[in-house]
Amino acid sequence: MIDEHGATADAQPVLHAIGRLPGIDGHLPDRPTWACAAPDCPDPWPCPHARERITAAANGDRVDLSITMAQVLNVAVSDLVHVPGDHDLFRRMLAWTR
């Protein structure tokens, strides 16, 4: 369940909206690790498939895309703050939206 951690209330609607995107096909964040939840996907989330679907949903509006992913970044940071490792969250969540 996407909202089971309840980390950041402001971003909960955006995670639910991503889960309803056409063609997302289970490529959702597996919280709190932020791996892709699709069983056949080895990538961290957002994986290439999720990026493609999220970008398509933004209809070319890069500002909207960046705002959406900044909201998601806020949740990821709160989930991963106690998980060791180099998560490079800016690159994963925002750099690709440019």
Q: Is residue 44 part of a domain?
A: yes
Q: Is residue 20 part of a domain?
A: yes
Closest Cα to residue 34, out of 91, 71, 73, 8?
73
Residues contacting residue 9 through CB under 8 Å, at least 6 positions apart? none
Domain that holds residue 84: 9-97
Q: Is residue 3 part of a domain?
A: no
Q: Is residue 96 within 8 Å of residue 72, measured between CB atoms? A: no
Q: Is residue 69 within 8 Å of residue 97, measured between CB atoms? A: yes
What's the confidence (pLDDT) of residue 95?
A: 92
Domain count, the chain: 1
User: pTM for this one?
Assistant: 0.81
**Cα gap 19→29, rounded to integer Å:** 9
- pLDDT per residue as tens, the chain (98 positions): 334 444 445 567 888 889 999 999 999 999 888 999 999 999 999 999 999 999 999 999 999 999 999 999 988 888 888 777 666 888 889 999 98
